[in-house]
Amino acid sequence: MPEIDARLREDVHHLGELLGQTIRDQYGQAFLDKIELIRQGAKAARRGSAEGARQLTATLDGLAEDELMPVARAFNQFLNLANIAEQYQHIRRRKPSEPEPFENRVFDELLGRLRKSGHGAEELAAQVAGLDIELVLTAHPTEVARRTLIQKYDAISAQLAARDHADLLPEEREQVQTRLRQLIAEAWHTEEIRRTRPTPVDEAKWGFAVIEHSLWQAVPNFLRHVDRALQRHTGQRLPLNAAPIRFASWMGGDRDGNPNVTAAVTHEVLLLARWMAADLYLRDVDGLAGDLSMQRASAELVERVGAVAEPYRVLLKQLRERLRATRAWAERALLSGEAPPDEVLTDNRELLEPLQLCHRSLHGCGMGVIADGALLDCLRRATTFGLFLTRLDIRQDSTRHAQALSEITEYLGLGRYAEWDESVRQEFLLEELNNRRPLLPANYQASPDTAEVLATCRVVAAAPEASLGSYVISMAGHPSDVLAVQLLLKECGLQRPMRVVPLFETLDDLDTAGPCIDRLLQLDGYRTRLAGPQEVMIGYSDSAKDAGTLAAAWAQYRAQETLVEICRGHDVDLLLFHGRGGTVGRGGGPAHAAILSQPPGSVAGRFRTTEQGEMIRFKFGLPGIAEQNLNLYLAAVLEATLQPPPVPEPAWRTLMDKLAADGLAAYRAVVRDDPQFVDYFRQATPEQELGLLPLGSRPARRRTGGVESLRAIPWIFAWTQTRLMLPAWLGWESALLNAVERGEGALLGQMRKDWPFFATRIDMLEMVLAKADGDIARLYDERLVQSELRQLGANLRDLLSQSVRVLLGLTGQYQLLAMATETRAAIGVRNIYLDPLHLLQVELLARSRRCEGDVCGGLEQALLVTVAGIAAGLRNTG
């Protein structure tokens, strides 16, 4: 097993020792010795020792009932501490002789390459300033760790940074050591699992906290880096009005399958965002009013505030009063619905204008060094976050709109909208969209479901335009799905264009996405209702669950190609919105590589993507980590725009068609066609028990039924817990093996070498196979699955082994991740702590499934701790 970095190993060991001291303080040395015995047994077993495996099993089998929970918690907490150390490793202090991480230098190096390849300085600077990247924070239920623990983990990371100085005095080093021990003790004595599910408002507040504690600092730092890099390579500055990366949110707006997200919730979240934004800017402006005590000012500023001794302070105090009024009004409006009085800031220009005036004046008076300090940071925040912090998207299922319109048309005596064919629907919707009179009479009394749809549309109509993003339609498939939303919004008073975005999710929907948008763009009057580019959302999670990752990935690629050509033919700008999950099974993976693998022309200076669940914390939870990930996004979108990947060769397309067809057949033969599969899935995985985990506000199922009724997240989560990782690889094994047997191995190698799309998919497949473990999955089968179903599990493990063999043959490696030694080492170290958790989870699942009465509560809590620990160890849930 390769060694992990020496400094990372030291941090992991140090944090582990402090955790051990905390456990010993509570349970004594004998219990700590038992934990160490389990760890050593797992370590020996991973190295192939049969004696180590027997020792591990015997020690775990010998645990008393009251030891199950603390043992599970010990290994769970260690894995969380390992995550903290690993994350800090990315942003730690480096000596001048050490190279900067790739994430820190990627944008700077890209600008250098682009200049050498012939891109002009002004053109390149303008391209960077004009980039439109939007990261949409979503509240999918995959964040296992409680917010209170996340805050303690962040504080531990800060102490690692404080400790990372060679010249600390002995008493300073002792202070850091003491604080680290205190924080680890606080985390140990805090429950890992929430007692109640978060509400949608709780989720939105969690999203705001990520902005407050990390992105508020990271964004201006990141833009300073961009500004400096532009100056070095182009001689240009990043304009003050440039915001190449902005943020949107689904938290409080995503009502697809979530009855807890109502119009009232959306209204509350919009007001909370305004309160939080005003509060954050108040802190900034308060500081600026204290700092900018200078007397010299431009004539423009003097004319504005008069001949006063401290003109900057006078102007900033005026802004401060308006921010206070805005915050106070937002707080009152949460309870009273009060309309904003005149002094409330309602347009972002009202926030930006006084800040820009101060900046111009300082520069004009020779005080640019002051202007480009905290004032510039505040300006960058105001441009990026605005008065509304994030733009809130609304999402609803297309059937809810169709049901509402059916009720309305029946009430009006026009028939039942749901029973009309597509052409009749379009004719009706277009006629009503162009009609000046309202469709609904004032006295119309809607059913509760329809009333909720209409109430949501009224909230949208009343909200300031800048506070909202797009209205996303789940399970869209026809132009009428878009027109229906436009009509409902019009009926509820919306008098401005709004982006109404069809989301194509299943394999069939992806195949028909292009023709659907083509028909939409041909409709009379539709183009005049477009708010900016034509936005289309590509669903990764549900298409992967529907067809497997191989067929889904190729369908997503082809759909994007078609959409690019169609919008180009209509002379309409296209914005693709990528609904990617955090895991490979949900279309996730490294963002930089994923963006560079998109079809040529699909990333034309614009990019929109979801960031979900625990990935928000891993990528944006700490300012330094957030800066690195913003760099990756910026560099990837710029490179994909100016140096897009090659158009795939005809032979590559032909082979991908075969691979996708074979992968689809193999995937569905198991997941859809095997009559034993659903029973096996529910017995072999903790899918049913995951419903007990109070993760998010949204139910785990859209409806009752089998696998097709599951959301993509619990579908992935369940297989991740058993380490079979089935959704991420099933289908690849048959497709690649068939290609090799047809003599197409050399062509596969060429595709991997020269086609970023295929290379990225193979890299992600390799990563997930490295995390998979058939031996662990077999333990779940032996303990939990009825004997008549076990052969299915054995067959699936054989397919997993086949996937590994065929992938190694394609890559020419002797083992998975042979070229990524650090990643392989990290997985190897984590396995030592994961193995006991898996064994405990199997035992707890078996006990909980046969227990009755009050004793189940303790078992369930311990079981959920193992779920959290395994998720932490693998760094993903769903």
Largest CA distance in the chain: 90
Question: Rounded mean pLDDT of 410-418?
Answer: 95
Quote the CA–CA distance of 512 and 563 in Å, as a whole number. Answer: 10
Mean pLDDT rounded to a whole number for the chain: 91
Quote the CA–CA distance of 795 and 376 in Å, as a whole number. Answer: 61
Task: Name, in order, each residue with C-beta under 8 angstroms of 349's C-beta and a sequence gap of 6 or more.
Answer: none
Specify the length of the chain in residues. Answer: 878
- DSSP secondary structure string, 784-808? HS-GGGHHHHHHHHHHHHHHHHHHH
Q: Taking the mean position of all CA atoms in its chain, how far away is CA 466? A: 22
Tokens standing for 821? 């030694």
Cβ neighbours, 10 Å, residue 427: 12
**Amino acid symbol at 55:** Q
Q: How far is CA 845 from CA 700, 786, 848, 850, in A?
A: 19, 14, 5, 9
Quote the CA–CA distance of 726 and 731 in Å, as a whole number. Answer: 9
Which entry of 34, 140, 225, 578 is annotated as an active-site residue?
A: 140
Tokens standing for 628? 């690195």
Quote the CA–CA distance of 681 and 785 in Å, as a whole number. Answer: 9
Per-residue pLDDT at 94: 83
Cβ atoms of residues 841 and 877 within 8 Å = no
Pairing of strands 606-612, 574-579: parallel
Name the DSSP letter for residue 772. -
Quote the CA–CA distance of 97 and 367 in Å, as a whole number. Answer: 35
Name the DSSP letter for residue 372. I
Does pLDDT of 480 surpass 60? yes
Q: Which residue, chain included where needed, has tokens 């800090």?
A: 88
Does pLDDT of 533 surpass 80? yes
Q: Is residue 833 exposed (0-12), middle (13-18) or buried (19+ Cβ within 10 Å)?
A: buried
Task: Name, in order, each residue with C-beta under 8 angstroms of 99's C-beta and a sequence gap of 6 or more.
Answer: none
Query: Looking at the DSSP assignment, which residues form a beta bridge with residue 502?
Result: 473
The pLDDT tens digits for 820-856 are 888 888 888 889 999 999 999 998 999 888 876 555 6
The pLDDT tens digits for 348-366 are 999 999 999 999 999 999 9
Instruction: Tell me if residue 152 is catalytic.
Output: no
Does pLDDT of 582 surpass 70? no
Q: Is residue 349 exposed (0-12), middle (13-18) or buried (19+ Cβ within 10 Å)?
A: exposed
Cβ atoms of residues 464 and 270 within 8 Å = no
Q: Is the dihedral of CA 28, 30, 33, 38 positive or negative?
A: negative
Reference 685, options 551, 796, 770, 584; nearest CA is 796
Confidence of residue 584 (pLDDT cuts 50, 70, 90): very low
DSSP, collapsed to helix, strand or coil, labels residue 133 as strand
The pLDDT tens digits for 728-778 are 999 999 999 999 999 999 999 999 999 999 999 999 999 999 999 999 999
Confidence of residue 1 (pLDDT cuts 50, 70, 90): very low
Does pLDDT of 398 surpass 90? yes
Per-residue pLDDT at 585: 40
Tokens standing for 391? 């733009």
The pLDDT tens digits for 88-145 are 988 888 878 888 889 999 999 999 999 999 999 999 999 999 999 999 999 754 455 6
Confidence of residue 711 (pLDDT cuts 50, 70, 90): low
Q: Where in the chain is the domain with CATH 1.20.1440.90?
A: 265-388
Quote the CA–CA distance of 710 and 668 in Å, as a whole number. Answer: 16
Could you tell me the CATH superfamily of domain 265-388? Answer: Phosphoenolpyruvate/pyruvate domain (1.20.1440.90)
Tokens standing for 471? 């209205």
Per-residue pLDDT at 142: 47
The pLDDT tens digits for 639-686 are 999 999 999 999 999 999 999 999 999 999 999 999 999 999 999 999
Tokens standing for 559? 């759909």
Per-residue pLDDT at 143: 53
Instruction: Tell me if residue 619 is catalytic.
Output: no
Q: How far is CA 662 from CA 195, 584, 667, 735, 797, in A?
A: 45, 19, 9, 5, 19
Cβ neighbours, 10 Å, residue 775: 12
Per-residue pLDDT at 71: 93
Which alpha helices (DSSP H) does 47-146 contain, by range?
50-61, 68-91, 102-116, 121-129
Cβ atoms of residues 209 and 251 within 8 Å = no
What is the helix (H) or strand (E) element at residue 536, kind and residue range?
A: strand 534-539
Quote the CA–CA distance of 716 and 370 in Å, as a whole number. Answer: 51
Does pLDDT of 716 surpass 90? no
Reference 149, options 75, 200, 202, 76; nearest CA is 76
Cβ atoms of residues 634 and 106 within 8 Å = no
Does pLDDT of 450 surpass 60? yes
The pLDDT tens digits for 6-54 are 888 899 999 999 999 999 999 999 999 999 999 999 999 998 899 999 9
The pLDDT tens digits for 767-783 are 999 999 999 999 999 99
Question: Rounded mean pLDDT of 241-247?
Answer: 97
Query: Looking at the DSSP assignment, which residues form a beta bridge with residue 504?
Result: 538
In this prediction the pTM is 0.93
Name the DSSP letter for residue 310. -
Q: Is residue 636 exposed (0-12), middle (13-18) or buried (19+ Cβ within 10 Å)?
A: buried
Q: Is residue 102 exposed (0-12), middle (13-18) or buried (19+ Cβ within 10 Å)?
A: middle
Quote the CA–CA distance of 312 and 289 in Å, as a whole number. Answer: 7
Q: What do you get for the CA distance between the two ends of the chain, in Å?
A: 28
Which alpha helices (DSSP H) does 812-852 contain, by range?
821-850
| CB-side neighbour CA atoms (13 Å) of 130 | 10
The pLDDT tens digits for 216-238 are 999 999 999 999 999 999 999 99
Which entry of 545, 578, 771, 838 is annotated as an active-site residue?
A: 545
